[in-house]
């Protein structure tokens, strides 16, 4: 057992399932999944240019017979929509799992879209873990479903699960024999208009088999009260992160049905559960996706006026005018007054020291970064000037652009005087010429070459000279002579 957060649990689950390839584009809240996978050398893990490329690379690995994983956030699935819809038609050969991180409340996103809506449109199954343990188990089960039904599977995790931590039981890695060979027949993998209707019908049949089989039934877990009644006043259907809050409040008081697979939904299990309750309360995050599907079955679903799909899950979302017992239970559990312990020591702030209101400092990205265009220009200058030149930079090791600079000149970032970087101060790159000192290439944020105060040159003793003691020429002269 070990303490894992949700991203690490997903990564561990993919490793235990025998995954061989992972492609991803970073995005909160699932960036930590790939960071967790980097510790497993058995898996080839790659950052890609975008989510579409990441998913296509994972599809290629799956078509080659390997178990493959693609990781992205919810808005990244929009970028990957083209291969996402198509791979459901073609099938996967090897297992293909797509981990998508939804962000209710938009803590680090531009919208709060629900991945389940897009997955339903593409006829792709969706698994929703409710805690860290299931975040480890569900990727393993997703690979089994993917291979058995020849369809990709989405594992939808949300921000609270990704950033939560829990003690988790870990297992060993499964040895999976890859289904090597060519993807055939051609009619299955080539989506020409003549082949598409047949592929679509086959996809619908596969999803129906999954919805009515033992897999979807297994993901339906029921908790019944100790007191057996022929019919209960109300029951609760819940999926995803809110499950444990519902269980803590209502276990033993009302029937609870947890839907671990929100699409396709096992309609038979839902109708059997609803037949034992007068009303059903549906609890979920992001939208009324599950509630709408249950209403379509003709089930008497209780209204939730406080839930509009906006923001993170709150206990206020449980209240319903159709079920007064829920409001009473919430008032009984969390409505009592809490004792407030005053803080005796005064918290000091910069404002209290200065006596002046300080301006707000919103978060922002590093201003001076090398772009791909900068590196292209630097590489061209290097190739034109010959081997006597090498590319250096001004800035701090560990920043994104220092890593980019290292990739060009193949060494650790150093200052012109050969001193290690202290703090980020520059915004360009330097071309070192052994017989003339340092000439600054004009990048996006050029740094003055004739400064002698050491601010922009690494604070070495004499920034006006190179390590050989030659005086540095002014920028316009050095550029002309080079």
pLDDT value for 330: 86
207: nearest Cα among 144, 120, 270: 120
Helices 196-211 and 132-149 cross at an angle (nearest 10°) of 130
Pairing type for strands 96-102 and 277-283 reads: unpaired
Q: Is the pTM above the cut of 0.75?
A: no
* pLDDT tens-digit map of 64-100: 999 999 999 999 999 999 999 999 999 999 999 999 9
DSSP 133-196: HHHHHHHHHHHHHHHHHTS-EEEEEEHHHHH-EEEE---PPP------S----HHHH---TTTH
* pLDDT tens-digit map of 213-263: 999 999 999 999 988 888 999 999 999 999 999 999 999 999 999 999 999
CA distances from 106 to 67, 102, 181 (A): 31, 9, 43
| End-to-end Cα spacing for the chain | 62
* pLDDT tens-digit map of 302-332: 999 989 888 889 888 999 999 999 988 888 8
DSSP character at residue 357: P
């Amino acid at each position: 057992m070990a303490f894992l957060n949700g991203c690490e649990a997903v990564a561990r689950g993919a490793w235990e399932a025998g995954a061989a390839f992972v492609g991803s584009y970073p995005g909160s809240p699932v960036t930590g999944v790939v960071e967790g996978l980097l510790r497993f050398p058995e898996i080839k893990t790659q950052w890609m240019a975008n989510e579409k490329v990441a998913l296509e690379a994972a599809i290629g690995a799956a078509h080659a017979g390997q178990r493959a994983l693609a990781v992205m956030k919810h808005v990244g699935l929009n970028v990957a929509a083209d291969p996402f819809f198509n791979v459901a038609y073609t099938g996967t050969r090897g297992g293909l799992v797509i981990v998508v991180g939804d962000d209710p409340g938009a803590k680090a996103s531009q919208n709060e879209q629900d991945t389940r809506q897009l997955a339903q449109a593409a006829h792709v199954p969706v698994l929703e873990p409710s805690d860290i343990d299931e975040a480890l188990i569900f990727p393993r089960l997703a690979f089994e479903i993917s291979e058995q039904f020849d369809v990709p599977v989405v594992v939808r995790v949300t921000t609270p699960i990704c950033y939560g931590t829990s003690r988790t039981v870990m297992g060993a890695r499964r040895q999976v024999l890859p289904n090597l060979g060519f993807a055939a027949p051609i009619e299955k993998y080539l989506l020409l208009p003549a082949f598409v209707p047949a592929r679509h019908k086959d996809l619908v049949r596969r999803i129906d088999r999954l919805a009515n089989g033992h897999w979807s039934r297994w993901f339906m877990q029921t908790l019944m009260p100790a007191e057996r009644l022929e019919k209960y006043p109300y029951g609760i259907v819940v999926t995803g992160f809110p499950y444990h809050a519902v269980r803590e409040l209502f276990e033993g008081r009302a029937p609870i049905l947890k839907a671990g697979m929100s699409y396709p939904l096992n309609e038979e299990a839902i109708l059997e559960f609803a037949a034992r309750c007068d009303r059903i309360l549906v609890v979920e995050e992001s939208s009324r996706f599950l509630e709408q599907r249950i209403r379509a079955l003709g089930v008497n679903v209780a209204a939730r006026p406080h839930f509009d799909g906006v923001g993170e899950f709150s206990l206020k979302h449980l209240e319903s005018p159709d079920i007064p017992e829920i409001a009473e239970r919430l008032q009984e559990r969390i409505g009592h007054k809490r004792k407030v312990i005053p803080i005796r020591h005064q918290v000091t702030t910069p404002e209290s020291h200065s006596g002046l209101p300080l301006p707000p400092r919103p978060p922002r990205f590093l201003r001076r970064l090398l772009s791909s265009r900068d590196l292209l220009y630097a590489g061209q200058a290097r190739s034109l000037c010959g081997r006597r030149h090498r590319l250096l930079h001004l800035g701090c090791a560990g920043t994104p652009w220092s890593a980019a600079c290292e990739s060009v000149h193949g060494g650790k970032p150093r200052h012109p005087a050969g001193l290690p970087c202290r703090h980020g101060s520059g915004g360009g790159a330097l071309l070192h010429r052994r017989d003339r000192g340092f000439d600054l290439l004009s990048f996006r944020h050029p740094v003055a070459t004739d400064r002698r105060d050491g601010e922009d040159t690494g604070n070495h003793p004499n920034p006006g000279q190179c390590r050989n003691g030659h005086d540095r020429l002014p920028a316009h002269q050095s550029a002309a002579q080079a």
